[in-house]
Amino acid sequence: MLDINSNVDQLIEQYKTLPGGLLPLLHAVKEAVGYVPESAVAPIAKGLNLSRAEVHGVISFYHDFNTHPVGRHTVQICRAEACQSMGSRDIEAHAKQSLGIDYGETTTDGLVTLEPVYCLGNCACSPSVRINDDIHARVDRSRFDELMEELSHASPDAFGVNS
């Protein structure tokens, strides 16, 4: 916890004079810590001269800013229309069932957090799934299983943009 807080303090220093800096700061906190911890709210509010309610309000408005720790990999299933037309409802059901979790939850081994997403700009080759910063096209049940299998063997930092 101690190093989370000093991390956050450093980031606040870095972003506090940036015009409209709250979103970039929250992204940076998420990047560094993995989520936006409750303990970050008060120092952020102080650093940016906002009320805690304002900071809370912003965090809760945006889907990206989760306030609880997440798994080592974030898996997002596209739920939007183009992906629906290619069977994403089935992938969605399969993902929840095979991982044994619902959206917003993390597998018990801490490997995967499952989230919905609404369009990844890959709508000509749907259904789309994003794993960390990699997007995957034409994902069916067996491709999804393959991707999950790869995750269970990969080291957490082995994933860059489609490496």
Partner 1 sequence: MSLQIFVPQDTTALALGAEKVASALIQGAQKLGLDIEITRNGSRGMFWLEPLMEVETETGRIGFGPVNTANVESILSVLNSDSVETKAMEHPLYLGEVSDIEYLSKQQRLTFKRSGIADPTCIESYQHQEGFSGLAKALTMTGQDIVDELKNSGLRGRGGAAFPAGIKWQTVLDTPGEQKYIVCNADEGDSGTFADRLLMESDPYQLIEGMTIAGLAVGANQGYIYLRSEYPVAHKILNLTIERAIKAGFLGANVCDSGKDFFLEVRLGAGAYICGEETSLLESLEGKRGMVRAKPPLPAIEGLFGKPTVVNNVLTLGAVASILEQGSDTYKNFGMGRSRGTLAVQLAGNVKRGGLIELAFGVTLREVVDNFGQGTFSGRPIRAIQMGGPLGAFLPESQWDTPLDYEAFAAIKAMIGHGGIVVFDDTVDMAAQARFAMEFCVIESCGKCTPCRIGSTRGVEVIDRIVANEDRDNNLILLHDLCDTMELGSLCAMGGMTPFPVRSALTYFEEDFGISSRRDH
Smallest separation, CB 61 to partner 1 (Å): 4
Residue type, 19: P
Q: Quote the DSSP letter at residue 97.
A: H
Backbone angles phi and psi of 106, in degrees to 5: -120, 140
* Contact present, 76 and 117 (Cβ < 8 Å): yes
Smallest separation, CB 63 to partner 1 (Å): 4
123 binds partner 1 (CB under 8 A): yes
* Contact present, 55 and 44 (Cβ < 8 Å): yes
23 binds partner 1 (CB under 8 A): yes
Q: Which is nearer to partner 1, 64 or 149 (CB)?
A: 64
Please identify which residue in the block is written with the tokens 């101690």: 2
Which of partner 1, ligand FES, none is residue 86 near (CB under 5 to 8 Å by kind)? partner 1
* Contact present, 71 and 113 (Cβ < 8 Å): yes
Q: Which of 124, 142, 153, 155 binds partner 1 (CB under 8 A)?
A: 124
Peptide bond into 43 cis (omega under 30): no
Which of ligand FES, partner 1, none is residue 33 near (CB under 5 to 8 Å by kind)? none
Q: Quote the DSSP letter at residue 20.
A: T
Q: Which is nearer to partner 1, 7 or 56 (CB)?
A: 56
Question: Where do contacts with partner 1 occur on this chain (CB under 8 A)?
Answer: 19-24, 26-27, 48, 54, 57-58, 61-65, 80-86, 117-126, 128, 130, 133-138, 161-163
